[in-house]
Amino acid sequence: MIFLAAIALLSCPQLDEDDAKPEIDISVGCKECGFMGAEDCDNHGKLFEAEQGVDYCWLATQCEDCLGTLLADCNKCESGPLYIKRQRELGKQERFRNSTTQPATLFERELPRIISKHFDICVTAEKMKNGSKNMNTHQLIHAMATECEASATLFDEHFQAQPYSYSNRARLWYFTDAKDHQEVCIEILGSNGGADLKFYGVNPAVSSFSNGYGLGNDALEVVRNAVHVSIHLMLSSVHQVGWIGNKKAGWFDIGAAHWYEDKLFARVATYCVEEANSGLHYENGKWRVAMKKHLRKNKDYILPRLTQLTSGVLEEEQHALAWSLFDYMVANHPEALKPMLLGYKNGVESRVLFKKHLEMNIMQVEDAWRGWVAETYPLKDLKPRKRV
């Protein structure tokens, strides 16, 4: 019998220490949670979907039930797929919370803050007018994140960008107190600033006084401004760090920012001469009909001069022309946007880039652009949005 037992033991597979432990299925949860281990937190009301669209919200993390994960723990079990997800989210929320933001460090107080895929956003206004209603801080900052991310999604498609393509998230800071804005400009961005101040480079940022000229603590104006400015910041940080607006590429820098602003709001109101919203100016911010008429009336070639200018010297009408040329590029040569941007960052002039990536000289590009505008621009502009 002893001999037979020894043979039986030799014929059994040897178990490692981990294999000897009973296998635990961590995906089952329990009946109380539908076998998920956690469930959607019901403390976030109408903004629950918006909360899911960002990585971090300073207010969501204050929720005692979910701590910003948007998942309420099951009190009956410690397993299931949503239980595992919640544990991972808890770690991420803690990392973001501990990262703070430079203005909060400067002022030594917590500031309303959202972190999304492309942006790190801070807005201090307690409320803003949005059409006939008011938005509180939480609603406003989520609206800014939603609109800016919508434009960033288009931007990523146009410029073949992934999260790793950017040097960092763009920081969007909007202060309702002019003194706070001024202090941030001086102490963090290194300039006295004006209505707003942009900082290009590895860590792009903008600080803006949300009650400044053309913004007036109006939600639509402030969010539209953020969309426009965010494009400038992303252009400077995507693929290769460098601002093209101080080179002979002002039309591309300005035209792109206007294009995404117009795409989302059907109206343009931001002019980046002093990086400030200048309110209602060229053709009330509705440009398709105006450009159709302008190009039909003015026959002289425009691009040889327009494509030599820096961003800061473009006049109001030239802003619209730059937007229209970028509009033509998006519609007809989207594959050329990324290589042209990289070319401008490396100091290559438009005439060379047109020839290389569009296979046309600058006069031929203008002829094609003019023909496209005449054929496609409508006789009546779209109605602009009245609220975010």
Statement: residue 117 has pLDDT above 60: yes
Most confident region among 93-97, 113-117, 196-200 by mean pLDDT: 113-117
Give the Cα separation of 386 and 276 in Å (integer). 20
Q: What is the pLDDT of residue 2?
A: 39
Comparing CA positions, the residue from 173, 335, 146, 159 lying closest to residue 256 is: 159
- Computed over every residue of the chain, the mean pLDDT equals 87
Statement: residue 18 has pLDDT above 50: no
The bridge status of strand 119-123 relative to strand 170-175 is parallel
Q: What is the pLDDT of residue 273?
A: 52
Averaged over 355-362, what is the pLDDT?
A: 96
CB 145, CB 53: distance < 8 Å: yes
Statement: residue 347 has pLDDT above 60: yes
Cross-strand pairs, 130: 133
Task: Give Cα 198 distance to the centre of its chain.
Answer: 15
Give the CA angle between residues 319, 320, 321 to the nearest 5°.
90
pLDDT band at 323 (very low <50, low <70, confident <90, very high): very high
Q: Where are the domains of the chain?
A: 29-99, 103-376
pLDDT tens digits along 32-70: 777 888 888 888 989 999 999 999 999 999 998 889 999
pLDDT band at 29 (very low <50, low <70, confident <90, very high): low
Averaged over 169-194, what is the pLDDT?
A: 90
Q: What is the pLDDT of residue 8?
A: 37
pLDDT band at 187 (very low <50, low <70, confident <90, very high): very high
How many alpha carbons lie under 13 Å from residue 32 in its C-beta half-sphere?
11
User: What is the biggest distance separating any 2 CA atoms in the chain, rounded to whole angstroms?
Assistant: 109
pLDDT tens digits along 208-243: 998 887 888 999 999 999 999 999 999 999 999 999
Most confident region among 12-21, 63-72, 271-280, 332-341 by mean pLDDT: 332-341
Statement: residue 9 has pLDDT above 50: no
pLDDT tens digits along 125-173: 989 999 889 999 999 999 999 999 999 999 999 999 999 999 999 999 9
CATH class label, 103-376: mainly alpha
pLDDT tens digits along 249-307: 999 999 999 999 999 999 988 887 543 444 447 888 899 999 999 999 999 999 999 99
Statement: residue 93 has pLDDT above 70: yes
pLDDT band at 26 (very low <50, low <70, confident <90, very high): low
Give the Cα separation of 120 and 2 in Å (integer). 72
- Three-class SS state of 29: coil
Q: What is the pLDDT of residue 73?
A: 86
